[in-house]
Chain A
Amino acid sequence: MEEGAAEGVTQEEEFEPLILAICCNWCSYTGADLAGTSRLQYPHNIRIIRVMCSGMVHPNLVIDALSKGADGVLMCGCHPGDCHYLEGNLKAEKRADALFLMLEDLGIEPERYRLEWVSASEGQRFAELMKDFTDTIKSLGPSPYKMY
């Protein structure tokens, strides 16, 4: 069934996914700003949501987003050790493990959720990550939960 859906799309115009990037205020959001200051170009498919810490994002929010049709969710936090709140990012990492199990139940490909560390000085890395994740999602095709 999924195959069929994917095929259906390839015949139409190119699939432009809608991707949410949830970024922590202190490192990743700053890194995203730096990508801008450095005028690094990346795909337009990303919508960034600022949170204070990657550790504050309830798994339900991610599930919600993916089950309501987001094609991908990228969570960005500080590198281990850099967390402004000591270890919120490590909590996010633990939750990611749990999230993958839930995604499996929902029949959502695990590649649609990703957790990455981006520091405040990694504008380049942020831009590359956006490209890479967008490519990944494009190759997966639209979310099975996508509503039209």
Chain B
Amino acid sequence: MSNDKVGAVLVVGGGISGMQSSLDLADAGFKVYLIDKLPSIGGVMSQLDKTFPTNDCAMCIMAPKLVGTGRHHNIEVISNTEIESIEGEAGNFNVNLVRRPRRINEEKCTGCGVCGAKCPVEAIDEYNWGLTRRGATFIRYPQSVPLKFMIDKEKCIGCGICQEECKAEAVEYDQEEQKFDLNVGSIVLSPGYSMFDPSLKTEYGYGRYKNVVSSMEFERFLSATGPFAGTVMRPSDGDIPEKVAFLQCVGSRDSQAGSEYCSSVCCMFAMKEAIIAQEHSEGLKSHIFFMDLRAFGKEFDDYYTRAQEEHKIKFTRCRVAEVREVPETNNLIIKYVEDGEVKEEEFNMVVLSTGFRPPENVKEFAETLGIDLNKYDFCSTGVFSPLETSREGVYVSGVFNGPKDIPDTVAQASGAAAKASSIISSERGKMITPKEYPPERDVLGEDPRIGVFICHCGINIGGVVNVPDVVEYAKTLPNVEHAEHNLYTCSEDTQKGIKEKIVEHNLNRVIVASCTPRTHEPLFRSTTKEGGLNPYLFEMANIRDQCSWVHMHDADNATKKAKDLVRMAVAKSRLLEPLYKLELNVFQSGLVIGGGLSGMTAALEMAKQGFEVHLVEREKELGGNLRNIYHVLSEKGEDPQKMLKEIIEKVKNDDKIKLHLETTVKSIEGFMGSFTTELSDDTKIEHGVVIVATGGQEYKPTEYLYREDSRVLTQMDLEGKLAKDEIKPNSVVMIQCVGSRIEERPYCSRICCADAIKNALKIKEKNPDAQIIVLYKDIRSYGFREDYYREAADKGVRFIRYDDENKPEVTKEGDDLVVSINDPILGEHIKIKPEYVVLSAATLPQPDNEELAKMLKIPLSKDKFFLEAHMKLRPVDFATEGVFLCGLAHSPKFIDESISQACGAVSRACTILSDEIMELEPTISEIIDENCDGCAYCIDPCPFNALTLIEYMRNGNVKKTVERNEAACKGCGVCMATCPKRGVMVKGFTLDQISAMIGAALEVV
């Protein structure tokens, strides 16, 4: 049977989710076909300005993944493509696809953009949500991958100008729709989402009032590449708004709009936009109107606090009834109710936080794929199978799987990649065809013989810079043996020419002066290698993006500058040395610390991938917190205890899993690929990766008479008692945020709102007449959990809000428990005498996290959970390579989220485990032992803990020096800049090389 399996995966949708899945799969040895229905990948994240809660620039953090996906040798990006039908089954699918014509030959198009600039058509630019215009010949955004233009036939008038302008002869008007099929083993769906159309909420006037905009449009207003270059302006008249109102839940939590669920991200999104808008435009003031402020993610509540305290953003809790325009000024009047009073306030601009909808044409999509949708037409998944669609072999991640933010999406994307590869793990590496290169010529000891290839880039460079003149100049530079100019240096035939010239002139250095190394260096390095030279003997001069394009009206100086840039490249290239990829031996096995749901899931998934794994659990039994969970909020009604038993069985019976119960980790030594760990029972394990899944624990409250009165319970206590039918309450008061969102523990524990609702519903199920009151600060039943909040309210559960100034009090009057609280709606003080008081207690980090953190050299967050490498895009990685994170150890989360993350951690781990030998970029630091005197200045500044001070015997004396861990070093060069003695260099960017460039730049010509 396994012979029929195919080691390739189809990823549908090239947003951040699809890119992450693709990269993981490709790095783990599988062939990936990444299709997107748009002409370029990047998805919605490419349209964002900043991302919460770090306010990172979206493009800055995403671009490396974008470029990485575009040039990965195992990933084939197929744009403009959709699925027509699917045959076959898990392990071996035959997928029929249809590709819209691009009408520009991808092989020939260099992305220079002349066609787009000359196109006489002005069409609406969807990338900027219609706020700017583009040509009928266009790219979505400047960093598009693939960087290939496309003709929009709908808008094209067929004038033929682009064809006349294109020097690369890439325009092909007669391209037609193309049908083709792919044979793959599994499929990952990440088609993303669409946005709710806010004009349907007519009371807010979107579409009628110019200064009412959607949050996505506003995001483009904030972006430096958006219509207003980052200064927020009113669409009516271009003035900067002084007062901006953000209206939350537009098309979310709204039965009228047909989307009763919560879109999960808009609260944070709005806060971020409000903060950034204030940063971009001095004097601008933001005011957010919301129902519940759902800042439930890791460190989100801190962000909320900063928004209020530092940025002085105003928050008003209400649903706005109506927006009215003042015709003379295009200002907007907002009508709302606060403290029982109807108020009106005038704003210059209104931003509607529009909710997420399923992707367009989702029904046909689901039908084609043969998968089930949930009642809101998002993909249907289960609590214990969050990544599986209803069709075996087809997996899902991202917003199609329910509204979520970027980190959750990225973790899921990795998780889906793990799922998609585990069923074809036997085929790992079989569809990958490594490129063959000629043997490398040894150039050691030769004088530099440099070949310089200067690109006209059609007219992009040649139209400004006098290229022949630069060529003549280049010939006069020392060690330059050959110089020539090309219409397009990146074209197929010039590539061939370069290879021939390397042989003909016996060149040992190659320089291309053209566009930017960011996009083209890999291509030219590969050409250099094909020409029989080490690929690192290549250097580039950027005479387009940073010369001809920015000095278009100053040909003489642009030419002079191009000469300087070539001279600088020549100066550096003389000092280039052949570099070789570092090879790292990998122990192809893993260590998972923690035997709760996350740890068990990780161990099982890693075993499915074919790797041996050690699962270490300090307790006698597996299961962790899941042992205390008896029911879940789910349409499918999964039984957690039954699931737990099944999972434990699987773990125990899997012969690839080595179980170490009642055991802890004593020490861990080593680095990515080769760790050696000693356990408390003195067992020694060798492994290539570590997954930290140590979990968390429920806070045992010291407040509200907990421990003093047995009728005061935590939610976990209650759940157990309900499940075992120990109690059947008639009246309950639940208090939310006990130990969370307080000064000493400012974070939100994320799960307690839904847990309270879950238990309230359970009580109602047993006793429909039970009186239940939930005292809360914000109800954070995000995503589809909102349904249960509504159900609870419908069934008579009362929700009463409290805030920090008016916390509930629990006292005893005689034998009665008394809860007193101010009801803000009724405006009166109420006293309740419930049978039980149930506390929604915080989820705490494990108290011994610090110990493990030290052992693994990984950081903790200020809340003492483990801190991942990057909050947004590396949610399950640590900055220390080879160590990964999942579950409550990361932050409080639900079962499905823990499972997604655990699978995600495995996926990331597999990128290391997939081969016995791992290749690393050689452009990292290198210790020059004869210069190093062991002063150790470099050691502390290294952000990756890659340097250690060592001593050895030399000529009978103790010599101090520094050792660089090649697995940890990333080549940032902080050490090089710190070292006072030239004792450490980053290869490819040595002091001498940079210095040579500086010297060449300053040469008087």
A/B touching: CB–CB < 8 A: yes
Do B224 and A81 touch across chains, with their CB atoms under 8 A apart?
no
Not counting A49-B998, A52-B972, A81-B56, a sample of 11 additional A-B residue pairs whose C-beta atoms are within 8 angstroms of each other reads A30-B63, A33-B545, A36-B547, A44-B558, A44-B561, A65-B998, A91-B941, A120-B59, A120-B63, A121-B58, A124-B230
B923 within 8 A of A: yes
Per the bound structure, the CA–CA distance linking A50 and B197 in Å amounts to 44
Do A53 and B974 touch across chains, with their CB atoms under 8 A apart?
yes
Expressed in whole angstroms, the minimum distance between the Cβ of B721 and any Cβ of chain A is: 46
Do B998 and A64 touch across chains, with their CB atoms under 8 A apart?
yes
Expressed in whole angstroms, the minimum distance between the Cβ of B528 and any Cβ of chain A is: 18
B223 within 8 A of A: yes
Contact A29 B518, CB 8 Å, known A51-B994, A61-B998: yes
Residues from chain B with Cβ under 8 Å of A27 in the complex: 57, 60
Do A87 and B943 touch across chains, with their CB atoms under 8 A apart?
yes
Chain B 150-181: CB-based contact to A (< 8 A → 1; otherwise 0): 00000000000000000000000000000000
Contact A41 B550, CB 8 Å, known A29-B518, A124-B230: yes
Closest residue of chain A to B879 (Cβ to Cβ) is A86
Do B60 and A56 touch across chains, with their CB atoms under 8 A apart?
no
B54 within 8 A of A: yes
Per the bound structure, the CA–CA distance linking A61 and B223 in Å amounts to 34
Chain B 542-576: CB-based contact to A (< 8 A → 1; otherwise 0): 10111101111110011011001100100000000
Among B60, B113, B970, the one with the most A-chain Cβ atoms within 10 Å of its Cβ is: B60
Do B49 and A121 touch across chains, with their CB atoms under 8 A apart?
yes
CB within 8 Å of B: which A38-65 residues: 38-42, 44, 47-53, 55-61, 64-65
Do A56 and B549 touch across chains, with their CB atoms under 8 A apart?
no
Residues from chain A with Cβ under 8 Å of B1002 in the complex: 18, 65, 68-70
Do A55 and B977 touch across chains, with their CB atoms under 8 A apart?
yes
Closest residue of chain B to A21 (Cβ to Cβ) is B546
Per the bound structure, the CA–CA distance linking A125 and B95 in Å amounts to 46
Expressed in whole angstroms, the minimum distance between the Cβ of A145 and any Cβ of chain B is: 10
Chain B 687-724: CB-based contact to A (< 8 A → 1; otherwise 0): 00000000000000000000000000000000000000
Per the bound structure, the CA–CA distance linking A20 and B1000 in Å amounts to 11
Do A84 and B64 touch across chains, with their CB atoms under 8 A apart?
yes
Do A57 and B977 touch across chains, with their CB atoms under 8 A apart?
yes
Among A40, A68, A85, the one with the most B-chain Cβ atoms within 10 Å of its Cβ is: A85
B771 within 8 A of A: no
B680 within 8 A of A: no
Residues from chain A with Cβ under 8 Å of B142 in the complex: 34, 37-38
Contact A49 B60, CB 8 Å, known A35-B550, A124-B229: no
Do A39 and B224 touch across chains, with their CB atoms under 8 A apart?
no
Expressed in whole angstroms, the minimum distance between the Cβ of B814 and any Cβ of chain A is: 57
Do A82 and B518 touch across chains, with their CB atoms under 8 A apart?
no
Contact A127 B60, CB 8 Å, known A33-B518, A85-B974: no
B1004 within 8 A of A: yes
Residues from chain B with Cβ under 8 Å of A68 in the complex: 998-999, 1002
Per the bound structure, the CA–CA distance linking A125 and B557 in Å amounts to 22
Among A32, A41, A47, A61, the one with the most B-chain Cβ atoms within 10 Å of its Cβ is: A47
Contact A88 B974, CB 8 Å, known A52-B989, A56-B986: yes
A123 within 8 A of B: yes
Do B977 and A37 touch across chains, with their CB atoms under 8 A apart?
no
Contact A25 B986, CB 8 Å, known A81-B54, A121-B49: no
Per the bound structure, the CA–CA distance linking A42 and B552 in Å amounts to 10
Per the bound structure, the CA–CA distance linking A123 and B977 in Å amounts to 27
A134 within 8 A of B: no
Among B142, B229, B1002, the one with the most A-chain Cβ atoms within 10 Å of its Cβ is: B1002
CB within 8 Å of A: which B935-982 residues: 941, 943-944, 970-974, 976-979
> What are the nearest 3 A-B pairs in CB distance?
A56-B973, A36-B545, A85-B972
Do B550 and A124 touch across chains, with their CB atoms under 8 A apart?
no
Do B550 and A79 touch across chains, with their CB atoms under 8 A apart?
no
Residues from chain B with Cβ under 8 Å of A64 in the complex: 995, 998
A78 within 8 A of B: yes
What is B's interface to A at a CB cutoff of 8 Å? 49, 54-61, 63-64, 113, 142-143, 223-225, 229-230, 516-518, 542, 544-547, 549-554, 557-558, 560-561, 564-565, 568, 879, 923, 941, 943-944, 970-974, 976-979, 986, 989, 991, 994-995, 997-999, 1001-1002, 1004
Among A30, A33, A52, A121, the one with the most B-chain Cβ atoms within 10 Å of its Cβ is: A121
Do B568 and A36 touch across chains, with their CB atoms under 8 A apart?
no
Expressed in whole angstroms, the minimum distance between the Cβ of B110 and any Cβ of chain A is: 13
CB within 8 Å of B: which A125-139 residues: 125, 127
Do A37 and B545 touch across chains, with their CB atoms under 8 A apart?
yes
Do B49 and A48 touch across chains, with their CB atoms under 8 A apart?
no
Do B60 and A82 touch across chains, with their CB atoms under 8 A apart?
yes
Do A81 and B55 touch across chains, with their CB atoms under 8 A apart?
yes
Residues from chain A with Cβ under 8 Å of B554 in the complex: 44
Partner of B56, one of A35, A52, A82, A85: A82
Residues from chain B with Cβ under 8 Å of A87 in the complex: 943
Closest residue of chain A to B49 (Cβ to Cβ) is A121
Do A55 and B57 touch across chains, with their CB atoms under 8 A apart?
no
Do A20 and B1001 touch across chains, with their CB atoms under 8 A apart?
yes
Do A18 and B550 touch across chains, with their CB atoms under 8 A apart?
no
Expressed in whole angstroms, the minimum distance between the Cβ of A113 and any Cβ of chain B is: 13
Do B223 and A59 touch across chains, with their CB atoms under 8 A apart?
no
CB within 8 Å of B: which A85-129 residues: 85-88, 91-92, 95, 119-125, 127
Residues from chain B with Cβ under 8 Å of A95 in the complex: 977
Contact A70 B61, CB 8 Å, known A56-B972, A58-B976, A124-B230: no
A-B contacts, 8 listed (Cβ < 8 Å): A44-B557, A49-B1001, A50-B542, A52-B973, A56-B977, A82-B56, A88-B943, A147-B1004
Closest residue of chain A to B565 (Cβ to Cβ) is A47
Closest residue of chain A to B1001 (Cβ to Cβ) is A47
Residues from chain B with Cβ under 8 Å of A86 in the complex: 879, 943-944
Contact A120 B57, CB 8 Å, known A39-B549, A49-B994: yes
Do B64 and A26 touch across chains, with their CB atoms under 8 A apart?
yes
Partner of B225, one of A44, A65, A121: A121
Expressed in whole angstroms, the minimum distance between the Cβ of A93 and any Cβ of chain B is: 12
Do A121 and B57 touch across chains, with their CB atoms under 8 A apart?
yes
Per the bound structure, the CA–CA distance linking A57 and B991 in Å amounts to 8
Expressed in whole angstroms, the minimum distance between the Cβ of A130 and any Cβ of chain B is: 8
Per the bound structure, the CA–CA distance linking A148 and B56 in Å amounts to 45
Expressed in whole angstroms, the minimum distance between the Cβ of A32 and any Cβ of chain B is: 5
Do A48 and B550 touch across chains, with their CB atoms under 8 A apart?
no
Closest residue of chain A to B871 (Cβ to Cβ) is A81
Partner of B970, one of A41, A42, A79, A85: A85
Contact A47 B995, CB 8 Å, known A34-B142, A53-B972: no
Residues from chain B with Cβ under 8 Å of A120 in the complex: 57, 59-60, 63, 143
Closest residue of chain B to A147 (Cβ to Cβ) is B1004
Per the bound structure, the CA–CA distance linking A73 and B277 in Å amounts to 32
Do A119 and B57 touch across chains, with their CB atoms under 8 A apart?
yes
Residues from chain A with Cβ under 8 Å of B978 in the complex: 91
Residues from chain B with Cβ under 8 Å of A34 in the complex: 142-143, 225
Expressed in whole angstroms, the minimum distance between the Cβ of B994 and any Cβ of chain A is: 6
Do B545 and A49 touch across chains, with their CB atoms under 8 A apart?
no
Do B544 and A36 touch across chains, with their CB atoms under 8 A apart?
yes
Contact A121 B223, CB 8 Å, known A32-B546, A53-B972, A85-B972: yes
Partner of B977, one of A25, A81, A91: A91
Expressed in whole angstroms, the minimum distance between the Cβ of A53 and any Cβ of chain B is: 4
Per the bound structure, the CA–CA distance linking A120 and B63 in Å amounts to 8
Contact A56 B989, CB 8 Å, known A65-B1002, A70-B1001: yes
Residues from chain B with Cβ under 8 Å of A30 in the complex: 60, 63, 143, 518
Residues from chain A with Cβ under 8 Å of B1001 in the complex: 18, 20, 47, 49, 70
Partner of A58, one of B55, B64, B977: B977
Closest residue of chain B to A33 (Cβ to Cβ) is B545
Per the bound structure, the CA–CA distance linking A124 and B224 in Å amounts to 7
Per the bound structure, the CA–CA distance linking A148 and B143 in Å amounts to 42
Expressed in whole angstroms, the minimum distance between the Cβ of A123 and any Cβ of chain B is: 7
Residues from chain A with Cβ under 8 Å of B60 in the complex: 26-27, 30, 78-79, 82, 119-121
